[in-house]
Every structure is written in structure tokens, then in C-alpha cells.
Chains A and B, each alone.
Chain A
Amino acid sequence: MLCEIVDRHGGQATSLLQILIDVQMRFRHVPPRIMTALAGMLHLPRTQVEAVVEFYRFLSVTSVGRFDVRFSDSVTDHLLGSRDLAARLCQRLGVKLGETRVDDAVSIHLTSCTGLSDQGPAALVNGHVLTRLDGDRIVQMADFIDQGMDLDTWPKNWFKVEDQVQLAGLLLEGELPLGASLERALTLHPADIFSEIDRSGLRGRGGAGFKTAAKWRFCYEGEEGAVPGDPTIARYVVCNADEGEPGTFKDRVLLSRNAQDVFEGMTVCAKAIGAQHGFIYLRGEYRYLLDSLLRGLKVRRLRGLLGRNILGVEGFDFDIEIHLGAGAYICGEESALIESLEGKPGHPRNRPPYPVTHGYLGQPTVVNNVETFAAAARIMAYGADWFLSVGTPESSGTKILSVSGDCERPGIYEVPFGSPVSDLLRRCGADDPMGVQVGGPSGTFIGPDEFERILGFEDLPTGGSMMVFSQARDVVAIARSFTHFFAHESCGFCTPCRVGTSLLGQLIDKIAEGHGTPHDLIEMTQLAAIVKNTSHCGLGQTAAHPLMQTLERFPERYQERLKTLFFEPGFDLDGALEVSRQMTGREDAHAHLTQSG
């Protein structure tokens, strides 16, 4: 059984994570003896196998239930009542959240945003997605689980995922003929491909906005003194389909309806930089897309668009492999993603050196977002001018946005760069919002007086997540949820992020629960600066953004929760006596303490 799984993945150490995902599916956990066996078969230290198992949330040392339910725990799911639904399912099934029922029938967990914010509350059950959950479905679901009903027999519409494209633009309108951009690329020298992409002004769509052409060129040219395009050097093309930023789901839609564009963009990149291997790193939450993506790749191979001698060009060999993630937001960071591709825990690397020179297995590697490859494909086919016809000088083209939260028409909006946020709010039917989280929790929270700000690298850069919050929402609760998200997703490598994000979580809990003092706000601000300034990677550097940005914009919402005292304990003092009271049966005056002096 184990041998079969290992063989299916080529028996390589780099496939460790892929193998473990299959082991988890098969055995519902990764038993210690299998870790030992795998270490032996893959010639890896056992510690690495254990490290990987314990790093990824979708792998476990103890057994999950025959039905493993994971409720999406994004703020937008909260707004739709997800926490309550999870509690009700737990109650009906007699299982504690985060645990497995004694008969092994079911386990219920919360999981970070599953990328279905426009059709939540959402959950995963054994890797399949459930959308638009409600109270009735929870009741039925509990029955199905108790009766051990196979997932195939559950109502089909429960698993329905809609694209909800509300506004299409350059990338989502029409269809790019298969192979069209590749055929053009084949007529060009790498330098001409770079300059065409460069002229289009395409910048990374993940949010950071690095110039795509520059990244490709650096990868092709290699380090100082290297021979540009040296054919003896293995280079890699990696598509980052690990969109874990809460509230984003546009890559899911791109991979559902425009996967061929993405493959084509990767192949153009491979042609330009001289790569033979490509990877799509698909987040584990999107596992349900795997089969259709594999079919899409098969089509390309049959058409001669992947594989050996692509389109008959001697020596142009390139193929794409799909690697699955297993529940780790940090793997969206490109160097952590590469570590994960290599079968390791997703710890971001030290930089320099950068992935363009030292990426996958230490080789030059381009890592681009799904949308970037899709855009590159169309730019290659239709030309840079076509792309430049939309957007601003700093930010050409369009941006695909995932809109969720308090609006009438959530879903996908492909808008020209340079559009004001207010425009989008009108389109999606958000009247009188209190704020918008642009680019997810690591991005920018803006209030009503900033709705005329424009989407683009020159003002509000965004990876695509747009969460709308109405006036009825509690901004402190939103910031609190995001802060806990970062603490939950911190990889644990560096001290300030590992410890600091948890400390920030404690502080915001204290404030949100009405035990905060002015002293705590000062403390929070100082701690936020330390975490931001000293963390190893973007996760820690942005983890305090939700707190600081909402504090800056809505100070009164924080102030009104503060006690006037200078100090109050951060833990429940009277609660700390509860065990003693229970064990002694005492209820006298000395058996209680007030929270504040």
C-alpha cells in the first residue's frame, strides 16, 4: 500500500508532501511507523518527515474522522454565521470542535479561508467543498454523517461552486485560442519576449507588483558572470496557486474557466527562460479542481502544447506537474512555496539569494501568480498595446477582484487598474459601507473617506481580495479575527512573528472583551512596530496591519472599549479561582476576586 503511493509519486524525496497527502487520505492520519518507513524509502531524516506532518494542517498525527469536516473560518464566513453552524454540527454529532469522535466517525475543525467567500458559509468535507451552508443543511448533514452515507449520495447542489463572474475584462472576456500565444512566442527570441512583456507593463498579480519581465529576464540571464540562457542550467517555472489571503478566490475562478490561459502563460515563460519543468502549486483547499486541471494538461499534451518538441520545435521540451498544498497560508510566500515543493515545511528562506537565481532545488526559478501567467499568455497573443489600452501608466491592464462581505452581488469583478474603490462598491451593491479590506488582511483597510482612492500599484495595491463591511459591523472584531488568523498561520521560524503575533492576539482579545486600558493600546502599538520591523517575511511584517490600520481610522471604536483605569489584568482573575472554588465548595467573599482592584 505505502509502496504503491510512493511509486505513484516517483519515489523522490521532493514528493514527500504529495505522498503524505495520499497517506493521510488513505489512513486518515500519518502513523509514526509510516513516518519511519517513509524516511527509509525516501532516504530522508525521520525528523523531516515528522516536521512536514506537523507543519501542514491537513496532515495529522492522530486520526481524523471518516467524515472530516473543516469549516471555513474567514471573517466573511463569520458574517454569514459559520461559527454558529459549526457549533450546531458539533452539538448534533456529539463531538468537540477540533476533536475526533470516539467512534472515529467524524471530526470537525475550523480552517483558514477556503476561497469561497462569495458563496459561504463554506466547509470542506474529506477535501470536497460545501457551499452556502445553512441551518437546514447542518441538520441533514449530521444525519448523513451519523448514517455513514457516502459523499456521492449527498445532494449534488451542496457541492456546487459557482464562478459568479460579475464583470469581465481583458482576461475573462472571450477565449484565447489554444496555442495562440505560444505560436507567437515561438517566432520570438527570448529577449523579444521579455521586451514585449516589459512594454506591456505587466506586474505581479499576487500583490507585490514586481515587474514580470524583469523576473523572467533575471532568471534567464543568471547571476553576474553567467552565460545568459545557459542551456546546461535547469530552470523552473512555478505557478503560485496557493491563494490563501482571506477573501480571495479569483485564482479558483481562473483555474476553473481559464486554466488553459494559465498553462499557456507558463509555457511561454518556459520558452523564454529555457525551462523544462513547471509546477502548479495548488492549495489543498482547491483539491477538487485537480482532476479538471489534469485533464486540461492532458489536452495540451495531445495537442503538442506540452511535452517533448512542443509544436514541433526540436528541443523545446516542457511539462507541468501539479503539487498540492495541505493547509498552510505561508506557502503563498514564494520561497516558502519552493520549500514546500521540495517536500519540506513551508519556512520562508533567507534572501538574498532570490528564487530567480536560487529557487527550486537551488536552481533559477520564476514564481508567478496564476493571474500573472494568464495575463502573460494574452499579452503574448494580442500584444502589449492591447494590454496598455487599459489601466494607468504605473499599473497597466486590469485586476481581477474577489468581492465578498456586505454587498448584494459578491463574486468576481475584473476592473481596469486605476478604478476608484467607490466604483466597485456601486457595482457590487454595497450601500453605505463602513470600510473595505483591500488586498486581504495583509493589505489595507480603508474607511469611507478613502473610497475615492484608486486600485493600482501607485495607490492601493491588491492581490485581489476585497472584503466589504457595512456600518453594522464591529471593526475591532474584524481586526481581532485577522490578528488571530496571522497568529494561527505564523510558520514559527522567527521569534517576533511566532511569539509577537500571539501576544498581539492576547492584547486585542483583552481590548475587544472590554478589559483594555489606554496602557494596552500603547503596548499594542509598540509591539506591532516590533513585529512589523523585525519579522523574517511578509506574514509577520503585515500581521499587525489590521490592528494598526483600523486603530488609525477608527480610534473611537477602540477608545469606547477601554476602561478609564491605567491597568487591568489580561486574564480572568475570578475565573482563575474557579477550579479552587469547585474543589473546596467555597462561595464566601474571599472566594472571589474583582477584575480591577
Chain B
Amino acid sequence: MTDLMTHKIRIATTSLAGCFGCHMSFLDIDERFFTLCEHVVFDRSPFTDIKHLGEHVDVGLIEGGLCNAENVSTLREFRDHVKILVAVGACAINGGIPAMRNHIPLKECLEESYLVAVGIDSPQIPNDPELPLLLDRVRPIHEVVKVDYFLPGCPPSAEVFWTFLTDLMAGREPQIPEAQIHFD
């Protein structure tokens, strides 16, 4: 469980259909980040701005659920490259707030947003190939790939990140204490 060159744990992170709130909460470990950086190195992540995963990544932290085709591709890239895949936060775990659209047919969602809503000038559903296509429902990531750990919360508190990573660094099976478990 070490980086080949530096003997540090390589971590990659991303936000799919999320709000980056989980990443912000991760940063809330504050000065403990310095300690962390003695043991880990960041691969693909908004923290590093690296766009694609390296070959040997130990841990992938996924924020957000799956709302479009690009989310699925990104998730699969993570699953293919990381040893331990972690669903971080409510959206990755159960779809979260974006999944509140799930009981409305996608057709209605798109029509409402791009065709009929008040104030729309030239009604048209965006169809540029650069834009990811929406899935009919927002899905949690465990419905598409095997997930190894779950860190619940909206967002998970800095303490949860810290518990998880310190357990991992110490070679222990991560164990989130009851007091740190929350879904909001």
C-alpha cells in the first residue's frame, strides 16, 4: 500500500454529481493536512489539477453520484486504477440531493429546463457532443462499480476523513465510530 517511488499512499479524488462540499470538508482537517502529506501524495484531484489517474493509485475518493455518461466513465477510470475505492458523502452513497429529480421523468426535466420554462429565448435541448448525456435517473456509485468503503455525511465531517485515513495509514481496517456517523 505504498507509492513505488516515495513509499507514500497515493490518493486520487474527484467530484461527480456533487457540489465539492465533501472536498471542502476534507480540507477542514486543517493543519493535520501537513501530517497527512508526510504519508500521502495526491494523484488526480481538484487539489492537484491532474486530469487523469496515474497507473498505481492506492485510494480513490469519489464524491457525488452518477447523473451523466461522463460520470460513469470517470468512475470506471477510478475503479480500474485504484486499489481501494471509497464512496464519499450522501450523493455518492444514495444519489443525494441530485437524485431528488428521480421521480420526475427525464423528458419532463429537460423540457421544463430548456423548452417551456418562463424566460427561454430560443428553446432547444443542448446537443453538443462535448456535453455529457444525462442518465434517466441519478444513481449511487455502488450500483455501477464495486465500492470498498463508504464515508457517509453531507458532507462527511473532517473527523471522518481523518479517522478513515489515519486508520488506513496505520494499516488498520477503517472503522468509523458511531458518534461520527451522520447522514446530513
Contact = CB atoms under 8 A, between A and B. Distances in A.
A and B in contact, CB less than 8 Å: yes
Interface of A: 519, 566-567, 569-571, 573, 576-581, 583-586, 588, 590-593, 597
Contacts of B137: 576
Interface string B116-150: 00000000011101001111110100011110000
Contact of B145 (A567, A576, A590): A567
B72 interface: yes
Nearest to B130: A590
B82 to A, nearest CB: 13
Q: Closest 3 CB pairs between A and B?
A: A584-B127, A580-B133, A567-B146
Contacts of A570: 143
Given A566-B146, A591-B133, A580 B106 contact: yes
A586 B110 CA distance: 15
B69 A593 contact: yes
Contact of A576 (B110, B129, B132, B136): B136
Nearest to A572: B136
Nearest to A586: B127
Given A576-B137, A577-B135, A569 B129 contact: no
Contacts, number: 60
Nearest to B135: A576
Nearest to B76: A597
A593 B72 CA distance: 8
A578 B129 CA distance: 15
B80 interface: yes
Contacts of A586: 127, 129, 133
B172 interface: no
A586 B127 CA distance: 7
A579 B127 contact: no
B51 interface: no
B129 A590 contact: yes
Interface string B37-73: 0000000000000000000000000000000011011
B107 interface: yes
Contacts of A569: 143-144
Contacts of A593: 69, 72-73
Contacts of B125: 583-584
B182 interface: no
A307 B146 CA distance: 68
Given A570-B143, A571-B143, A580-B135, 4 more contacts: A578-B136, A580-B134, A584-B125, A590-B132
B69 A584 contact: no
Contacts of B80: 597
Contacts of B72: 573, 593
Given A571-B143, A593-B72, A597-B80, A584 B106 contact: no
B129 A577 contact: no
B79 interface: yes
A577 B107 CA distance: 11
A394 to B, nearest CB: 49
19 contacts: A519-B146, A571-B139, A577-B69, A577-B133, A579-B105, A579-B106, A579-B107, A580-B133, A580-B134, A580-B136, A584-B127, A584-B133, A585-B127, A586-B127, A588-B129, A591-B133, A593-B72, A593-B73, A597-B76
A593 B132 CA distance: 11
Given A583-B110, A583-B125, A573 B144 contact: yes
B136 A591 contact: no
A597 B143 contact: no
Interface string B80-101: 1000000000000000000000
Contact of A590 (B69, B107, B139): B69
Contacts of A577: 69, 133-136
A581 B129 CA distance: 11
Contacts of B76: 597
A576 B102 CA distance: 12
Contacts of A592: 69
Q: Which of B73, B80, B125 has most chain A Cβ within 10 Å? A: B125
Contacts of B73: 593
Nearest to B106: A579
Given A576-B135, A577-B133, A588-B129, A583 B107 contact: yes
A519 B147 CA distance: 12
B71 to A, nearest CB: 10
A580 B137 CA distance: 11
A579 B69 contact: no
Contacts of A567: 145-146
A566 B80 CA distance: 12
A571 B72 CA distance: 13
A591 B72 CA distance: 12
B133 A590 contact: yes
A581 B133 CA distance: 7
A578 B139 CA distance: 16
A585 B127 CA distance: 7
Contacts of A588: 129
Nearest to B146: A567
Contacts of A581: 133
A243 B139 CA distance: 41
Given A573-B144, A580-B106, A597 B79 contact: yes
A571 to B, nearest CB: 7
A22 B80 CA distance: 62
B112 to A, nearest CB: 12
Contacts of A571: 139, 143
A391 B79 CA distance: 62
B146 A579 contact: no
Contact of A579 (B126, B129, B136, B143): B136
Contacts of A584: 125-127, 133
Interface in B11-50: none
Contacts of B79: 597
A578 to B, nearest CB: 7
Nearest to A574: B69
Nearest to A577: B133
Nearest to A589: B129
Nearest to A588: B129
A580 B134 CA distance: 6
A566 to B, nearest CB: 6
Nearest to B134: A580
A93 B101 CA distance: 36
A570 B142 CA distance: 10
Nearest to B110: A583
Q: Which of B69, B70, B79 has most chain A Cβ within 10 Å? A: B69
B91 to A, nearest CB: 17
Contacts of B145: 567, 597
